[in-house]
Amino acid sequence: MLRLRALWRHPCRALHVGRANRDQILEQLRVCSAEVQVFDVVGKHKAKLGAGHVAGALGMLWQFQKEKPHILRTLEMIRTHPQFLTLCVLAENKIAVMDDSAVVDMLYNVLRLTVEPHDSLVQQLVTEAWNRLDRLQLSTLSKFAVCLSDQHLHHSPLMGQITDILSQKLESVEDIRVLTNLMVSVSTLASPHLRDRLIERADALLDTMNPSLHRNSRRVVQFLRNIRYCYRPLLEKCNRVFLHGIGDMDAESIGIILGLYQSLQFNSCDFRLAVRERLAELSDTCTDPNSFSKYFAALGPLARLETREGLESSALLLVDELNPQQALAVVETLEETQCRNLQLITKIASVLHRNLDVFRPAEIARITQALIVLHYQSPEMFTKLRSKLVGHLEVSVIPQEVAMLTRVLSMLPCPRVEETVTSRVKAVLPQCNLNELNSIAQAAARWARGSIPSYHHSTPGTYVQLLQVLSRCGLERVRMAHRLDLLLEELKYVSGEWFEEVLLEETMVTLQRLKGQITFNDLPELCMVLTRSGYLFPSLMDHIASITMENIHKVRQAGQTIPIHYSTTYSILLPFSVLNYDPPNGEFFETCIENFTPYIGLFDPHLLVLLACCLAVADYFPESLIREIFTVDFLTKLDSQLETLPDTLNMRIRLRLMELNRAVCLECPEFQVPWFHERYCLQMQKKGHGVISPFQQQIHKMLGEVLGGMNYAKVAVLTPYFYTVDFECVLDRYMRPVPIAEHSQLQVTEEEKVQWGLGSAWKEQNELPAGAQRIAVDFLDSRSFCRNSGHMKGDAVMRKRHLEILGYHVVQIPHLEWNSMELSNMEAWKEYLRKKIFTEYSKSV
C-alpha cells in the first residue's frame, strides 16, 4: 500500500469506500511484490485496465527495478515482455484522459525502463506534455525537463520554452530539488543574466535544505560544470554539504563529485581526505565488478602506494568479469595513476580488445591514449585501434570529435596518413574553436616531423598546407572575436608551439581591444592567460589592477563579508608576480593582501603555499601568512593533502614550498623559520646529474682567458640554499682576480650565517682577502624575460636578490645581448665579459 501511495499521486478514493465499490484490479496490483505478478494482473484484466491502472503498473515496474542493485536489474526482460507491450499500447490510447502529473510520471517511468526515445509512446507523451506546458506545476515541469535531458533534447525549442518559464517563475521556486533539476536541464540555454539569477536562488535555497540531501548540492555543482563557471562561494557551500553527508555516499556518488570537481579545477583538501577515509570503509562492500570499478576509479588517484598496489591486485582477480564500460573506467584510472603493473595492463587491454566494436568514437580515442601512456606493447591492438580511429574520423562531422580523434591518431606511429583523413580535417577546420584548432595543429606538426616523402602517399607538403589552413582559420577566429568571455573560454587550455608562434601575438592584441569588456568575473581566467603568455602589457595590467581594487573597495563599502573570494587572489596576483610588474599606484599588492588575510585559515594548504610563493617572488612576505604556513599543524595537513594530489601537482607544490622556505630564510630572518629542505635539495641535485654543457665549457674557457687562467673561474657552483651559479670568480680590492680553490664553497654555519669554507667544514684560512668580492656570472635565456620585451621576470629578479644576500655581486648576461650582431666573434664576447665583470663591478663599489 505504501508503494502504491508513493507511485500514484492521486490514489483512487474507491479504495476507501465500501467493499461493493472497491477496485479489484487496484487491490491485486497493491499486493504484487515482483514484476511477474504485475504482468499476471495485466494479462488477466487487460480489457478492463484504465488510465490509473496502466500508470500504476508502469510505476511499480520501475520501482521494483530501482530497488535492485544495477547488476541484478532485468530491464531487457521487462521491456520485451508481452504484457509490457500491452501496457504501452494501452497507455498510448489513454494519454488524453490522464492528468498533467500522470503524463509526465509515465514518461519518466518508461524512459527509466529504457524504452527508446523514438518509440511512439514516448513521442506521444512528450507531445502531450508539450501541449500542456504552460499549466504544468513547477515540480512536474522539473521532472519533464529531466525527461527531455534523458533524450538529449537540451537544445530543443521545447527546452527553450521551459527555460523561459523558469526565468519568469524563478522567484516562486521554493523546492531545491525542483530548482536543481531545472538548472541542470536548462544549463546550455541559460543566458549570463539567468545564470546569475539561478546561482543566487540556489545559494539561498541551499541554506534551507536538509544537509543530508547531498544530491541537490551535486546537481548545483553539475550546473556549474555545465556552464563552465567555477563560482567558489557556491562550490564551497556545496562542499560543506558533501562533507556533512560523506558517511552516506557510495563509491559512485563520490566518483561523480570528484569528476565534477576535476572539470571545474576545484580542489578541496578536506573533501579528498574525507573521501579517502570513506572509501576505506567501503572496501568490503565493493566486491562485484560494477561497484569495484567505481570504487577503483574513485580511490585509485587518492590512495597511498601500498593501498594502490592492493587495488591493483584486486583488479587482477576481477578484470575478466568487467564489462566494456567498467574496463574503460579501470584503464583510465591506471593511466591517471601511471600504473606500471604490466600484468594488469595486459589483462585490461585484452578485455578492451575483445569489445572494441561496442565503443563510441570518443571512447576509442580515450582507450588509445590510455594504452599509449601506459606503454602497452601490442602491434595488433594498436593496428585495430588505428583502423577504428581512421574509420570514425572519415565520417565524423563534429569539430570536437574530429579534433580529439586527430590528436590521438597522431600519437600512433605511422609513415603516412590517409588522404581521406586530412580532407575531413580540412573540411571541419572553419567550424573549430581555438582549442580544437590547437589540438589539430599539434597533430599536423607531429605528422610533418615523422612523415616519409612518397610519390603516392602523403608528403610533408600536405601537412604544411594543412598547417597553413589552420593558421588562417585561427587568425580569423581571434581577429573576429567580439566577446571576451567566449574568447577566454576557448583560450583556457590552449598552449604549445603552434599557438605561441602563430596566434599568441594576435591574441594579445585582441585582449587589448576587448579590455573594455573586462569584469571581475573574467579576471581569474584572463590573468591565467596572461601568465602563460609571458606578454607584458602595462595598460592591460593596470586595468586589471584597477578593476580588482575598485571591486574590493566597492563591496567593502556595501558591508559584505567577503569582498572578493579569497581563493581567486592567487590567480589574479600571479601575472603581476611572474611578469615582475607592480602597478603605478603602489597599493595593488597591499590591497589584495588585506583582502585575503582574514581568510588564511580557510585556504586549502597547497593553494596557500602557491599564494605565499607568488608573493615572495614579488618581494612581499605577509607575516601572518608566513607564520601560518611554517607551523607543524599546517605542514602536517599539507603532507596529508599532497598524498591525494596527482604526482605532477604534488611535485610542483613541494618545489614551491622549498622555494618559499629559501626565500623566507634569506629575506626574513626575523621570522626565525628553519631551513628544512636540505635533504630534498640533495635528492633533486642527484636527479639533475649536473652535466656541464658544451656551451658552459666554451664560456668557462673564455672567462679563463679574460681573468688570466682557468683556476680563476668556476663553473656550475652550488651555493647555500641550493642555487646553482653559472660561473663564479673572485676579485680583490684592487679589481684583480683571485684563484678559487677546487673544493671551496659557501657554507651556512649553525648560527645560519653565510660563510665560506673548504669542503663541509668552516676553515678560517679560506676566508677571502680583505675587501675581496665574489662575482656570480649568470646567463639569462629567453625564459627570464617577458616575451615581448627585455623586461626581466620575477624569478630572475628574486634569484638576483638572493644571490646578493648570499654575498655575491651578480653579473647578468641577457641572451639578447650575448646573441646580438655586435657580438659575432670570440674577441667581441671576451671584451663583453671583461666589461660586464670589471666595469660594472667597479661602478657598484
Where does the pLDDT of residue 538 fall: very low under 50, low under 70, confident under 90, or very high at 90 and above?
very high
**What separation in angstroms does the CA of 504 have from each of 518, 542, 787?**
19, 20, 10
Q: Find out whether 61 and 38 touch, Cβ atoms under 8 Å.
A: yes
Is the pLDDT confidence value at 812 over 80? yes
pLDDT tens for residues 263-316? 999 989 999 999 999 999 999 989 899 999 999 999 999 999 899 999 999 999
Q: Which of 532, 506, 523, 516 is nearest to 437 (CA)?
A: 506
Please give the pLDDT value at position 806: 94
Q: What is the CA radius of gyration of the chain?
A: 33
Please give the pLDDT value at position 666: 96
The grid coordinates listed for 818 are 650575448
Identify which has the larger pLDDT, 235 or 9: 235
Please give the pLDDT value at position 451: 60
The grid coordinates listed for 146 are 529531466
pLDDT tens for residues 359-391? 999 999 999 999 999 999 999 999 999 999 999
Greatest Cα pair distance, the chain, in angstroms, is 122
What burial class does residue 783 get, using C-beta atoms within 10 Å of its C-beta: 0-12 exposed, 13-18 middle, 19+ buried? exposed
| d(C-alpha 192, C-alpha 650), whole Å | 36
| d(C-alpha 637, C-alpha 625), whole Å | 16
Q: Find out whether 545 and 537 touch, Cβ atoms under 8 Å.
A: no
Q: Which of 224, 225, 227, 228 is nearest to 203 (CA)?
A: 224
Could you give the 3-state DSSP secondary structure of residue 32? coil
**What separation in angstroms does the CA of 750 have from each of 713, 724, 753, 804, 807?**
28, 22, 7, 21, 18
Sign of CA dihedral 372, 378, 379, 382: negative
Q: Which residues pair with 779 in a beta bridge?
A: 813
Could you give the 3-state DSSP secondary structure of residue 304? coil
Is the pLDDT confidence value at 230 over 70? yes
CB proximity list for 622: less than 8 A, separation 6 or greater? 593, 597, 612, 615
Q: Average pLDDT of 248-276?
A: 94
The grid coordinates listed for 86 are 500491452
Q: Average pLDDT of 415-441?
A: 93
Task: State the DSSP string of 99-153.
Answer: -HHHHHHHHHHHHHTT--TTSHHHHHHHHHHHHTGGG--HHHHHHHHHHHHHTT-
Please give the pLDDT value at position 191: 92
Q: Find out whether 29 and 4 touch, Cβ atoms under 8 Å.
A: yes
SS3 of 479-518:
HHCCCHHHHHHHHCCCCCHHHHHHHHHHHHHHHHHCHHHC
Please give the pLDDT value at position 213: 84
Q: Which of 790, 659, 629, 794 is nearest to 723 (CA)?
A: 659
Helix or strand (DSSP H, E) at 639: helix 632-642
> In degrees to the nearest 10, what's the CA dihedral of 502, 504, 510, 511?
170
Is the pLDDT confidence value at 758 over 60? no
The grid coordinates listed for 717 are 657552483
Is the pLDDT confidence value at 124 over 70? yes
What region does 722 belong to: left with phi over 0, alpha with psi -120 to 50, or beta? left
Residues of the chain with pLDDT > 90, as a percent, come to 69
| d(C-alpha 834, C-alpha 707), whole Å | 8
Please give the pLDDT value at position 785: 95
| d(C-alpha 703, C-alpha 700), whole Å | 5
Please give the pLDDT value at position 9: 43
Q: Residue 225: how many CA atoms within 13 Å on its side-chain side?
A: 19
Please give the pLDDT value at position 767: 66
Is the pLDDT confidence value at 580 over 50? yes
Sign of CA dihedral 684, 687, 692, 693: negative
Could you give the 3-state DSSP secondary structure of residue 708? coil
Task: State the DSSP string of 541-589.
Answer: HHHHHHHHHHHHHHHHHTT-S-SS-GGGHHHHHHHHHHTT---TTS-HH
Residue 57, amino acid: A
| d(C-alpha 52, C-alpha 11), whole Å | 8
Residues of the chain with pLDDT > 70, as a percent, come to 91
Asked whether the whole model's pTM tops 0.75, one would answer yes
Phi, psi of 483 (to 5 degrees): -125, 120
- How many Å separate Cα 455 from the centre of its chain? 44
> In degrees to the nearest 10, what's the CA dihedral of 21, 27, 29, 30?
130
Is the pLDDT confidence value at 20 over 80? no
Least confident of 191-205, 680-694, 811-825: 680-694
Is the pLDDT confidence value at 11 over 50? no
pLDDT tens for residues 465-495? 999 999 999 999 999 999 999 999 999 999 9
Average pLDDT of the chain, as a whole number: 89
Could you give the 3-state DSSP secondary structure of residue 785? strand
Please give the pLDDT value at position 585: 80
Q: Which residues pair with 811 in a beta bridge?
A: 777
CB proximity list for 14: less than 8 A, separation 6 or greater? 21, 22, 23, 26
The grid coordinates listed for 582 are 607592480
Is the pLDDT confidence value at 41 over 90? no
Where does the pLDDT of residue 692 fall: very low under 50, low under 70, confident under 90, or very high at 90 and above?
confident
| Cβ atoms within 10 Å of 323's Cβ, excluding its own | 14
Q: How many residues does the chain have?
A: 845
Sign of CA dihedral 135, 137, 142, 147: negative
Q: Which residues pair with 747 in a beta bridge?
A: 755
Q: Residue 83: how many CA atoms within 13 Å on its side-chain side?
A: 19
Where does the pLDDT of residue 593 fall: very low under 50, low under 70, confident under 90, or very high at 90 and above?
very high
Q: Average pLDDT of 686-692?
A: 72
Is the pLDDT confidence value at 823 over 90? no
Q: Average pLDDT of 343-355?
A: 96
Is the pLDDT confidence value at 754 over 50? no
Identify which has the larger pLDDT, 19 or 405: 405
| d(C-alpha 58, C-alpha 84), whole Å | 8
Task: State the DSSP string of 45-97.
Answer: HGGG--HHHHHHHHHHHHHHHHTS-GGG--HHHHHT-HHHHHHHHHHHHHGGG
| Cβ atoms within 10 Å of 137's Cβ, excluding its own | 12
Is the pLDDT confidence value at 325 over 70? yes
| d(C-alpha 372, C-alpha 266), whole Å | 28
| d(C-alpha 437, C-alpha 511), whole Å | 19
Please give the pLDDT value at position 505: 93
Q: Which of 387, 324, 310, 318 is nearest to 354 (CA)?
A: 324
Q: Average pLDDT of 144-155?
A: 94
CB proximity list for 722: less than 8 A, separation 6 or greater? 662, 677, 681, 684, 685
Where does the pLDDT of residue 689 fall: very low under 50, low under 70, confident under 90, or very high at 90 and above?
low
Where does the pLDDT of residue 751 fall: very low under 50, low under 70, confident under 90, or very high at 90 and above?
very low
